Chain A
Amino acid sequence: MNFRTFAAFVGPSIVMMLLFIAFPLISVFTQSFYITQPIYEVVEVETCTPGFLTQTCVTEENSVPILDEHGEIVTKTEFVGLQSYRNVLELDRVWTAFREGSWTAFQTIDFWKALRFTLTFTLITLPLNLGVGLGIALMINNAAKSIRGPVIFISLLPFIITPVIGALSINWLFRGDGILTAIMEWYSGRDIALFAQAWTIEILMMLYRVWHVAPFAGIVLYAGLQTVNQDSLESALIDGASRWQRMRYVIIPHLMPLITFISMIHLMDSYRVFEEIVGFSSQGHVISLQWLTYDFLVPDQAGNRSISRASASAMLTMVGIVILLIAPLRRTWRDHKGSN
């Protein structure tokens, strides 16, 4: 392929990536070092609001933003260095909690509370996702040819459902006296409240995530199973390898590149866990890093939002993903070099 053709094929994609990934990323990165805020003046105002029958009027000092001649709010932008990162990380509170040796105090600091959950969530769902995915792949592979199509379709269904909708339906099945909680209560004969403490919510979230993503792992691994060398399998069989040994020494090594691929996708996806927090409305007990960024961004009723802290928190989330990806990336790199 000559260079012109190559450029014509790749060009649009590079432009898109620059436009929608690189530039926003740079913009977020810069914003995390700056603070933009309106300039306020303090004025005394009398505000009258309706009561049930008569008006209530109060006179008080209010901070009111200054407007320029076009009626726009005057703002100033200031370089603050790492201030926003400090505000997100709250290292002084971490240090106090550490000195007191109090895990509870440590876990009341938003960022670290979110990081703890995000990491637990990511690292526990990873092996479950791979295990269940492999199970689904084997199930499809062993299904009779005539029903294989429907089996693939049905096992892919959870993956097709929109994440927020899926999380909400699980929420409704278990919340309060939802059907499944009611069944569990009837079976165990005691009052069960799954949304009253953190650990039950966390388990529900993890189960939901595995239910949602395992079909994807399953379908990728099923594709891999089609290319397993039948001769190796046959010779293993002749050597007297058990079912488990064939799995352990022939099939899994063959699937390893795919397993690394699925792990990487899963690490990236589940480190950005967000839909579960919203769908299960778990903010009172459990929050994630992505949710924290979102919470900084949402304006309150008076219109204030924390763009700088949101940017800092987003950058920190990205750093976290990169650190998690180092191990599988190094493995891929080694395999790649080895195969050359």
Chain B
Amino acid sequence: MKFRSLLLAGAVAMSAGAAFADCAYENTTPLTSLSAGFEAWKAVTDAMAECGNFTASLDQEFREKQPEAFAANPSLYQIGGVANATLIPLLNAGSIRPLDDLIATYGQNLTPNQMIQIDGTTYAIAMAVNAQHLMYRTDILADLNLEVPTTYAEVLAAAQVIRDAGVVEYPLGGTFKTGWNLGEEFVNMYLGEGGEFFADGNMPAINNPQGIAALETLLAMTEFMDPEYLVSDSTYVQQQFQQGKIAMANLWATRAAAMNDEAESEVVGLVGMASAPMGSAAPASSLWWDGIVLAANMTDEEAEAAFQVALEGIDNEMVAANNDTAVWLVSGYQPGELAAGAAGTAQNGAVPYPASGPMGIMHTELGNGLADYLNGNKDAATALADIEAAYITAAQEAGLIQ
């Protein structure tokens, strides 16, 4: 017994030593990071941990902690993980540092596409992009002689055919859970119609023909979805796919790998990836990035160490080991079949998610206000007018509208 545990401890120590050797930079400064908790962040922070003296907090509620934690002096975390929208509060509070000098010294392997720049100053390094795009059951579409749909009209027509054939319980899935998910569905559709969210002075501008068209498409989709769509989030849609209950859905690129996870999925190798269906102007999707920021409130020595550790986390060795976990922006990434959807969506001209302070409020109000329309309690114009009114109340309270 004693001998075995000794052997085990030795093995652990050796593997730790081996892992340590994977990092080109030996870190001696204690460092911590706070980011979201999905698979890609786990891969990246594990790679950072190989440099030693590093602890990661992976927290799905990180957005509530991050602004306060980074505003502290010294900051509670040196490295932060953010996306389009969660960068805004840090940027507004001035609690993240410009990275240009560090990039000049250490960032030879970064590509220009990875820099998130505000007025020419780089504040974040992107590691991956994410977007909702079409996933579909290749076998069902082939059996019914259907082409891969490229517009929402075609999606709805295909859904009708699939329902008539009765091959799956519900032809469509969708991340329609009330709140952030439902708000994001509208944002995607509205961007696909070429809509603008705001007029001058942060005033809302969504009650227009594009907004109504977006709502009508969403409502038409619910016809073909599980009637419990208002509680269905990304994980739920992913499981519907894995259990063979749905045939098509516009789902996040980060969920693509799960379709071929043999432990969970009954449809391994049967789910194809394609660009998000087109609205009248662009693909009905928005491009998101995930990236790394450094806190402003730490010493320059700490920042140098943190930057080098962060770069180790997003180097090509990490990507080689986790190629299909995300659509990486890091050099050395081999876009496989799973990345075809995100790539197609970007090539067809999907725009980045228009993150800003007002957009944060708008997204919340959309997420809360759209259920009334989908439930049939309001018509499209009333729903949009009420969302605009709710937005104005909240934006006035936040000081964004005078």
The interface of chain A, by Cβ under 8 A from chain B, is 35, 37-40, 45-58, 62-65, 67, 71, 73, 84, 87, 104, 107-108, 110, 175-176, 193-196, 280-285, 295, 298-304, 306, 308-309
Separation of A40 and B378 alpha carbons in the complex (Å): 35
Interface code B341-379, partner A: CB below 8 Å = 1, 0 otherwise? 011001100011001111111011000100110110110
Nearest chain B residue, comparing its CB with the CB of A54:
B113
Q: Check A301–B86 contact: CB distance below 8 A.
A: yes
CB < 8 Å neighbour of A284 from B89, B230, B327? B230
Interface code B93-121, partner A: CB below 8 Å = 1, 0 otherwise? 11100000000000000001111111110
CB < 8 Å neighbour of A51 from B115, B129, B358? B129
Which chain A residues lie closer than 8 Å to B84 at the CB level? 49
Instruction: Point out which of A35, A40, A285, A303 has the most chain B C-beta atoms below 10 A from its C-beta.
Output: A303
The interface of chain B, by Cβ under 8 A from chain A, is 63-64, 67, 84-86, 88-89, 92-95, 112-120, 126, 129, 177-180, 182, 202, 226-231, 236, 287, 289, 291, 296, 327, 329, 342-343, 346-347, 351-352, 355-361, 363-364, 368, 371-372, 374-375, 377-378, 386, 393-394, 397-400
Q: Check A108–B113 contact: CB distance below 8 A.
A: no
Separation of A71 and B73 alpha carbons in the complex (Å): 11
Q: Check B226–A193 contact: CB distance below 8 A.
A: yes
Separation of A196 and B240 alpha carbons in the complex (Å): 16
Nearest chain B residue, comparing its CB with the CB of A43:
B119
Nearest chain A residue, comparing its CB with the CB of B112:
A55
Q: Check B117–A48 contact: CB distance below 8 A.
A: yes
Which chain B residues lie closer than 8 Å to A40 at the CB level? 357, 399-400
Which chain A residues lie closer than 8 Å to B115 at the CB level? 48, 50, 55
Separation of A57 and B122 alpha carbons in the complex (Å): 13
CB < 8 Å neighbour of B178 from A45, A63, A176, A283? A283
Q: Check B352–A49 contact: CB distance below 8 A.
A: yes
Which chain B residues lie closer than 8 Å to A48 at the CB level? 115-118
Q: Check A300–B360 contact: CB distance below 8 A.
A: yes
Which chain B residues lie closer than 8 Å to A56 at the CB level? 287, 351-352
Q: Check A196–B227 contact: CB distance below 8 A.
A: yes
Q: Nearest-CB distance from B44 to chain A (Å)?
A: 16
Which chain B residues lie closer than 8 Å to A107 at the CB level? 377
Which chain A residues lie closer than 8 Å to B399 at the CB level? 37-40
Q: Nearest-CB distance from B121 to chain A (Å)?
A: 10
Q: Check B398–A285 contact: CB distance below 8 A.
A: no
Q: If the complex has contacts A49-B84, A49-B289, are A304 and B398 also in contact, measured as CB distance less than 8 A?
A: yes
Separation of A53 and B349 alpha carbons in the complex (Å): 12
Q: Nearest-CB distance from B195 to chain A (Å)?
A: 15
Q: Check B360–A46 contact: CB distance below 8 A.
A: no
Q: Nearest-CB distance from B106 to chain A (Å)?
A: 19
Q: Check B343–A52 contact: CB distance below 8 A.
A: yes
Q: Nearest-CB distance from B328 to chain A (Å)?
A: 11
Q: Check B88–A46 contact: CB distance below 8 A.
A: no
Separation of A176 and B225 alpha carbons in the complex (Å): 12
Nearest chain B residue, comparing its CB with the CB of A78:
B399
Q: If the complex has contacts A49-B352, A107-B377, A301-B363, are A64 and B394 also in contact, measured as CB distance less than 8 A?
A: no
Which chain B residues lie closer than 8 Å to A84 at the CB level? 397
Nearest chain B residue, comparing its CB with the CB of A50:
B126
User: 13 A-B pairs, CB-CB below 8 angstroms?
Assistant: A46-B117, A48-B117, A50-B329, A51-B287, A52-B129, A176-B226, A281-B178, A283-B178, A299-B89, A300-B361, A302-B85, A303-B67, A304-B357
Q: Nearest-CB distance from B199 to chain A (Å)?
A: 11
Q: Check B92–A73 contact: CB distance below 8 A.
A: yes
Q: If the complex has contacts A108-B377, A284-B371, are A52 and B230 also in contact, measured as CB distance less than 8 A?
A: no
Q: Nearest-CB distance from B66 to chain A (Å)?
A: 9
CB < 8 Å neighbour of B119 from A45, A52, A67, A283? A45
Q: Nearest-CB distance from B383 to chain A (Å)?
A: 9
Q: Nearest-CB distance from B330 to chain A (Å)?
A: 11
Q: Check A63–B361 contact: CB distance below 8 A.
A: no
List of 5 A-B pairs having minimum Cβ-Cβ separation, nearest first = A302-B360, A37-B399, A303-B89, A284-B230, A52-B346
Q: Nearest-CB distance from B80 to chain A (Å)?
A: 13
Which chain B residues lie closer than 8 Å to A104 at the CB level? 377
Q: Check B358–A63 contact: CB distance below 8 A.
A: yes
